[in-house]
Chain A
Amino acid sequence: MKTGDALPRWAPPVAAMALVLLIDTVLFPSFFQIRLVDGRPTGSLVDVLIRGMPVALLALGMAGVIATRGIDLSVGAVMAIAGAVAANALAGGAPWTTAVLCALAAGLACGLWNGMLVAFLKLQPIVATLVLMVAGRGIAQLVTGGQITTFDDASFAALAGGTIFAIPAPILIVAVAALLLTLLVRFTALGLMVEAIGVNPRAAELVGINTRSIILAVYALSGVTAALAGIIATADIRGADANNAGLWLELDAILVVVLGGGSLLGGRLSYGLTLVGAITLQAIKTGILLAGLPPQMGLILMAVMVSVLLVVQAPALQQRLHRRTLRKAAS
């Protein structure tokens, strides 16, 4: 939509984030205060950022998948698998670098599996990734032997709890990942190709885009970012919980992408706005806790949020707005 007075694409997500942060500040005046305690920043905002990072990572991978009009339901299960693999390697005495590499490799393998089903067997994304969503937690339990595998490795735990130049490690990991991905898709034609597939897969193929490879790549990337999220979650609790790691986070990740202005009908990709969406969601969750509301209200509030987003994104409403702006322009 290139009408004269249409809002830029980044405006609604950023406005939503600003609104949520404003409400949080009203409820809790010291929301933006950041204090350095023993060289680590503390405060509600820092808490929002750190807590939101695993979902933000999932959402970074999900953003690419959704931009191709796909969906990846398996990210939560992949988190559990990666966490189980990492914890297992550490418990076996492997150094933390090996554990991280093993977990990332497991995530990549899961992502390639999904991508293969979607790109080469032409399965619907929701069906293809459902298989791993159902079986993935079983695989994770297979790796951990049904127990919560714990480990004692300070370097690995630092991936969640450590700081570099007073910046908590998870925030740094997500920022670097988002920056690299943005550079990758905006300084090459990749981003354009991904969006082209989302807008019209057949047209994209006809103009010569290698749709299969790109679809395979976005799912592989989603597997890797999910593995990263799994590593951080595992490092955070110093153990792998195959049953609960990343449970239902796939829904959070999808919601974050939509909050960041992504459309489930594909064709929109922005890693920066996805991060904005992640902060918005976590700020809402933290706000509910700060306001003293029961955490179950979070579920209802998320339902309300999804409903509002759906109404705003509805084609009927968009068309009506579009027509109104056209009429204004004519008169």
Chain B
Amino acid sequence: MTGQNRTLLVTIVVLAALFAFCAWQFPFVLSARVIGNLLTDNAFLGMLAIGMTVVIISGGIDLSVGSVLAFSAVLLSVLITKRGVDPTFAFVIVLGIGTAFGALQGAAVHVLRAPAFIVTVAGMFLARGVCFLLTEDSIPISSSAYQRLTDVGLPLGGGGHVTLSALILLASVALTAELLRRTRFGANVYALGGDRRAAELMGVPAGATTACIYAFSGFMAAAGGILYSLYTQSGYPLAGVGLELDAIAATIIGGTLLAGGYGSVWGTALGVLILGLIQLYITLEGTLSSWVAKIATGALLLFFIGAQKLFSQSSFGPRLFARLSVRGGLNHALSTEQPQ
């Protein structure tokens, strides 16, 4: 069993324990309706976290996703409400801009050899600033087509629905997992995160792959913006402030190594559900304030970072053994030299 699988196991155990605790306190949590809503309420965060996972596996980070989400939602509302653009066409525009924006950031990370963190902070400022240039108020999206989209869903029994947003989230998780597992691009992502120089020397096209990775994250952030606009039926320039941190937290809680090279999208999906459950519990409890969620998220982060540290060290057993035996061999060599 690799370290990655073990951290994923920890994630599953934490999720199960949290869910059991919620169900024990509030038995109706077990209903299909609540579970369906849990997916819908966290769909936009899930989209960001999927993109973030790919970026983090490649050894980077993308802090611009929260702003790109807000920008996409605002642009959608401006296009649809003020310009009367057809929603489908507006979706294409928004996804295109998000992807291009991400690709630009990826290219900058590669060409300028700059820390991804600082490049995407610039992207974060830029996207948020453009949001405010477009509008300073919340713009409602008044389109009958939009209303219909939110009503689409698979009945889950017991009054629950798997809404369109939830379906898109689940499909994205499955597709991205396959993308990472079965394609050359996926292998390149892991290779870059494992050891960038080694990957380049082995012929991984670092520049193109980096651009694609950030373009993917930008695409997912724009898709998250679309889901967010479906969820709130509006565009608001202050939406999703700090959401990038939640996405990073979900990724780490899902067992992805922030150093890169390890991780899975399925784990991230579980991480998103854990964050969603914490939020749900606080809402149901009613007397707790939002600080509980922040401290709980921080504590979970610490716990998972610690667990990763522990597991990655023990899973590197062979390497540790090799190091010890080299040292032993050296000592042996030194001690045999001495008698002469």
The 8 A CB mask of A148-164 against B (1 = contact, 0 = none) is 00000000000000000
A146 within 8 A of B: yes
- The number of chain A residues with a CB under 8 A from chain B is 47
Q: A186 vs B33: C-alpha distance in the bound complex, in angstroms?
A: 65
A-B contact pairs, 7 of them (CB 8 A): A130-B245, A131-B301, A131-B302, A134-B245, A139-B291, A296-B132, A311-B112
State the majority secondary structure of interface residues on A. helix
Instruction: With A134-B298, A251-B121 as known contacts, state yes or no: A310 contacts B129, CB within 8 Å.
Output: no
On whether the beta carbons of A142 and B130 are closer than 8 Å, the reply is no
Q: Which residues of chain A are within 8 angstroms of B258 by Cβ–Cβ distance?
A: 124, 126-127
For the complex, give the distance between the alpha carbons of A134 and B294 in Å.
6
Tell me the chain A residues, 96-151 only, with Cβ under 8 Å from chain B: 121-124, 126-128, 130-142, 146
- Do B291 and A146 have beta carbons less than 8 Å apart? yes
Asked if B114 is at the interface (CB within 8 A of a chain A CB), the reply is yes
Q: For the complex, would chain B's binding face be called helix, strand, loop or mixed by DSSP majority?
A: helix
B293 in contact (CB, < 8 A): yes
Contact yes or no, B126 A299, CB < 8 A: yes
A contacts, CB < 8 Å to B: 71, 121-124, 126-128, 130-142, 146, 242, 251, 254-255, 258, 264-265, 294, 296-304, 306-307, 310-311, 313-316
Does chain A have a CB within 8 A of B181? no
Residues of A within 8 A of B305 (CB): 123, 127-128, 131
Cα A246 to Cα B79 with chains together (Å): 35
User: Ordered nearest first, which 5 A-B pairs have the shortest CB separation?
Assistant: A135-B298, A138-B294, A299-B129, A296-B132, A141-B291
Given A296-B129, A300-B125, A306-B125 in contact, is the A315-B118 Cβ separation under 8 Å? Answer: no
Q: How far is the CB of A164 from chain B (nearest CB, A)?
A: 36
A130 touches B301 (CB 8 A): yes
User: Among B108, B117, B136, B295, which residue has its beta carbon within 8 angstroms of that of A135?
Assistant: B295
Inter-chain contact B290/A141, CB cutoff 8 Å: yes
* A167 and B113 alpha carbons, distance in the complex (Å): 43
Tally of contact residues, B, Cβ under 8 A: 43
B contact residues around A296 at 8 Å (CB): 129, 132-133, 136
| Of listed B114, B136, B291, residue having the most chain A CB within 10 A | B291
Cβ of B334 under 8 Å from chain A: no
Q: What 0/1 readout, one digit per residue, does chain B (128-154) give for beta carbons within 8 Å of chain A?
A: 111011001000000000000000000
With A121-B309, A296-B132, A316-B113 known as contacts, the answer to whether A130 contacts B125 (CB < 8 A) is no
Name the CB-closest residue of B to A128. B305
Residues in A neighbouring B128, C-beta threshold 8 A: 299
- Smallest Cβ-Cβ distance to B252: which chain A residue: A127
Residue B292 at the chain A interface, CB threshold 8 Å: yes
Residues of B within 8 A of A314 (CB): 111-114
